[in-house]
A and B are shown apart, each in its own frame.
Chain A
Amino acid sequence: MTAPSIMAAPVSPAEAPAEPRRQTVRRRLALLALAAVVLVLAYQFAFVGDADAGYVMGLRLRQLGALVVVGAATGFATVLFQTIANSRILTPGVMGFDALFVFVQTIFVAVFGSAIVVDVDVRTRFLIDLVVMSAFGTVLFRWIFRRSSRDLFVLVLIGIVLGSLFTSLSLLSSRLLSPDDFLTLQDLTFASFNTVDRHLLVLTAVITVAAISAGIPLLRRLDVVALGRDSAVTLGVDYHRVVTATLLVVTVLVAVSTALVGPLTFVGLIVANLARRVLPTYRHSVLVTGAALWGIAFTVGGQFLVARVLDFSTTLTVCVNLVGGVYYVWLLLREATS
């Protein structure tokens, strides 16, 4: 499509030269969606071989379900988080959520004993995990933001240290458990999308959709928040409330995906930055869609790679953390040098 010429039929001056950029954004978004769909289809249908097709399809569908949910949730959450934290180098994923998850599980088993835990339905347990993690995460972020809202690095640093702290606490607590309890704990904390329980997957999908729906009304106000706290307040946005609501949504999304498949620490970071790079707009409605699509492409594509190309010599999380880690250091250096 050619750019509208000056002599063309009257177009409101607001729309004219902005058109090419809007076109670009729309086109790229469409391409992203296409790529995501292709990857999903490839994952589902490629390389079936002589195995029992029904079984394989079912298995892959469940895996895809987990991957898509996690990828979308992570992308969405990270974009939101980066806006309120006012930084491209932060991601909720690095703040020790996975360590928190393990710790919560450990405390659970330690306090209630493995017998009670096993009796409780996996979905109820999942929900309890989720509530505890979300509450804790929100309180933590809120507390740190309040103390040093201009010090993003402090937030990340504390997050990382907390992650390490939680890991040590978990190890400590797990050593205090009886051997039975310890085994139960091992089962509980072994999160992998390979072995996702079907009911759990549905529950996760529902929660993710709910959280994203709760986040959508915030998007326009987040456009304003991106201008900075003062500008946002001046323009009549209830800054405090928007930040708290966003943090809650982010925490739930990260908690859900961590509980489902374990720590995908850097995925959110990569896809959020890729979305901003590829889609030159300030509109969060576009950015979160882009990030979610990138997220799906990454998780599905990444797992496809791990399974078909690398032949399971590594896992998705290991691979992604490696790539993401290097990217993260690069980003950090760039931000620190400016």
Chain B
Amino acid sequence: MIRVEQIAKRYGDVTVLDDLDLAIPNGRLTAIIGANGAGKSTLLSIMSRLLPADSGRVFVDDLDLSRTRSALVATRLAVLRQDTTMTARLTVRELVSFGRFPHSRGHLTPDDHRIVSDALGFFELEELEHRYLDQLSGGQRQRAFVAMVLAQDAPYVLLDEPLNNLDMRHAARMMRHLRALVDERGKTVVLVIHDINFAAAHADHIVALKQGVVVAAGPPAHVMTETRLQDIYDFPIAVHTIDGVPYAIYYR
């Protein structure tokens, strides 16, 4: 379980996170939603120890993130942020193999190779494994990075806007893959996502942020109501249920 206790983050006199408390349920797909500037990405960065909080603590399975060695945390928690620019020229397989670093420190065993192949297979990247990353399309690149996260084999997987720059088809496919991570591999997946309908369609648990605090948390049916959504986003949003899933319609 990931427990966030009284996390605060300020930039100058702007409070981004305001003594926030949160508990992420195990073995579920949790989506964090909210308007821009609500603090979603900051929260995820703090939860993954990429950013230090001004106050408060984060516990991953009772490990205090601020007190635990990064290498140990890396075996429990895997993160993918939005910014995937880098100078190294790598093939898909090489990138995914880096996911094994917390376990193997660079010396890959046959077991590691097996896990890497498995991750490549899970995301349907076998044919591309020896292509260089800059030769891939956006969707393929994104899958490669998530495959690296899978290869890291950590029980908690955190992703910041994994659907950015993906077209409809690839976005839907990515969400199905993430769903499979939970259903087939028993991982706990936490996503920051701005498209609330994808959250509604795939998440088990939705957490809504507004001005640095949690304003709603629960299953989609609970959070995706017209009153709650209006509260979160400050403008009227209609909700229509299709095939049992509550979808937000706000296009007019």
Contact = CB atoms under 8 A, between A and B. Distances in A.
Question: Are the chains A and B members of one assembly?
Answer: yes
A201 interface: no
B81 A226 contact: no
Interface in A183-235: 220-221, 223-224, 226-228, 230-231, 233-235
A224 B101 contact: yes
Given A14-B113, A14-B117, A223-B106, A236 B73 contact: yes
A224 B98 contact: yes
A282 B89 contact: yes
A58 interface: no
Nearest to B152: A235
Interface string A54-65: 000000000000
Contacts of A86: 87
A220 B98 CA distance: 11
Contacts of A224: 98, 101, 106
Interface in B116-148: 116-117, 126, 129-130
Contact of A233 (B50, B75, B85, B130): B50
B130 A17 contact: yes
Interface in B68-91: 69-75, 78-81, 83-91
Nearest to B71: A236
The number of chain B residues touching the other chain, given as a range, is 35 or more
B50 A88 contact: no
Nearest to B99: A235
A236 B86 contact: no
Given A14-B116, A235-B152, A230 B83 contact: yes
A88 B113 contact: no
Contacts of B87: 86-88, 226
Nearest to B73: A236
B213 to A, nearest CB: 26
Nearest to A229: B50
A33 interface: no
A12 B110 CA distance: 9
B94 interface: yes
Given A14-B113, A226-B87, A282-B88, A234 B74 contact: yes
Contacts of B83: 228, 230
A253 B106 CA distance: 26
Name which of A14, A87, A227, A237 has the most chain B CB atoms within 10 A of its CB.
A14
Interface string A235-262: 1111000000000000000000000000
B40 interface: no
A237 B113 contact: no
B49 A233 contact: yes
B155 interface: no
Contact of A12 (B72, B113, B126, B130): B113
Interface in B52-78: 69-75, 78
A282 B132 CA distance: 12
A233 B70 contact: yes
Contacts of A14: 93, 113, 116-117
A280 interface: yes
Given A228-B84, A231-B98, A236-B73, 5 more contacts: A14-B116, A14-B117, A87-B87, A230-B81, A238-B70
17 contacts: A14-B93, A18-B93, A18-B130, A86-B87, A87-B87, A88-B87, A224-B101, A224-B106, A228-B84, A230-B79, A230-B81, A231-B86, A234-B74, A234-B80, A235-B152, A236-B74, A236-B102
